[in-house]
Amino acid sequence: MRRALMFLAFAVAGSVRGENDILPRPPRRGGNGHELAALIRDTRVGGPQHYRHLVVYPLFTEGLARMDYLTLDQALGKGWLVITEKGEGSVPELLVENRADEPVFLLAGEIVRGGKQNRVISQDVLLAPRSGPISLGVFCVEEGRWTMESGRFAGEREMAHSNLRQTLSAPAVAQERVWGEVARKAEAVAPEAGGGSKYVGRVYAADEVQRDVAEYTKGIVLPRGANGMAVVIGGRVVGAELFGDAGLFAKLRDKLLRSYALDAIECKFGRRALQDGRMVERFLQRAATARLMAEQSVGVGRYFKIQGGGLYGSVLTWHEQDGAHGVVHAGLFDEQPVVAPVPIRPQPPIVPWER
């Protein structure tokens, strides 16, 4: 009933929108981002699972409402989600339209391929049913191509690795930083992954990377009922994914896990994974008290950037006309990169050998 009321409100708002409006907008009452603090307060950290430098803690929250959102992969697979270039093509924008009778959730870091270049979704988006065309913010993750490959975009099996998603969550991010991180990752784990353009998908496709990612993830099986996870790489918490619906997390869990594994395989040094849930609790508490800054969102829901307490990220919340509200997804990252480039230190001058 709650979900029906929510999207009935969206439909009413959508019936009065102008041709160029990105609507429906959520109701103005309530919802200042504090839904995240409430969700964290009710969240329990489960027992860890680990492999080498990677450890994953499942997160559990009691009393969650089931929202039954479609994912990007589900909606594209059914032909209900249509993604195209905007006009003749614009690097930071695509057009997206949900033609389903169900809401669709797009996760920041998911990749779509096609058009004139492959793109990564820059922020979480919740599309209302029958949304109409909406402008979607993206970044290019395929430097070197600007030619039409296909009129519509398809989904990519893999998503941006966690280090790149952390870059997307930074207070200020430019296209050059995204390209720089893609190139850095390729050089670090798959220097042979060439082929014309620099594309993060080719990094995942490298034989050695596929083998290592599979090795890291095969032994990590998160319990049913978990609605999120916290990830430790090299002895420190690098990120956490917290959903307001366990079913939505279950649909995206494996894709997210592989994105963290791609960074874990690069972690050659540092402490091995520590199994101490208290550091995860401290990380979540830092997120609960961090500063939230409202940003313009597309689709429905409210979108906030998170900064402070040594971390940053984002949270997308949903709202209903009757005042009910909650979290769709929060992506939380330590402000230090998961894997930082090794600084180039000046070498002493070479002294010619003398007899």
DSSP string, 88-113: EEETTEEEEEE-SSS-EEE-TTEEEE
> Do 121 and 81 meet the contact criterion of CB atoms below 8 Å apart?
no
The pLDDT value recorded for residue 340 is 58
What is the full per-residue pLDDT of the chain (355 aa) written as tens digits?
344 434 434 443 343 333 333 333 343 334 566 899 999 999 999 999 989 889 999 999 988 878 889 999 999 999 999 999 998 888 999 999 999 999 999 999 999 999 999 999 999 999 999 999 999 999 999 988 888 888 899 999 999 999 999 999 888 889 999 999 999 999 999 887 655 567 889 999 999 999 999 999 998 999 999 999 999 998 899 999 999 999 999 999 999 999 999 999 988 655 555 567 899 999 999 999 999 999 988 888 899 999 888 998 999 998 776 667 799 999 999 998 877 544 333 434 433 333 3
Is 195 exposed, middle or buried, given 0-12, 13-18 or 19+ CB atoms closer than 10 A? Answer: exposed
- The reported pTM is 0.86
Which one-letter DSSP state was computed for residue 239?
E
* pLDDT of amino acid 32: 65
Residue 196: predicted pLDDT:
57
**Residues 74, 72: Cα–Cα separation, whole Å:** 6
Residue 297 has a pLDDT of 85
Q: b/e per residue, 97-130, with b = 16+ CB within 10 A?
A: bbbbebbbbbbbbbbbbbbbbbbbbbbbbbbbbb
Sort strands 43-45 and 54-61 into parallel, antiparallel or unpaired. Answer: antiparallel
Q: Give pLDDT, residue 349.
A: 43
* β-pair partners for 293: 305
Q: According to the model, what pLDDT value does residue 261 have? A: 96
Residue 328 and residue 66 in contact, taking contact as beta carbons nearer than 8 Å: no
The position carrying tokens 């929060």 is 330
CA quadruple 49, 52, 53, 55: dihedral, nearest 10:
0
Whether the ω angle into residue 337 lies within 30 degrees of 0, i.e. cis, is no
List the Cα angle 311/313/314 in 5-degree steps.
145
Q: From edge to edge, which strands make up the β-sheet containing 154-159?
A: 81-90, 93-98, 134-140, 119-121, 110-113, 154-159
| Whether 209 contacts 190, CB under 8 Å | yes
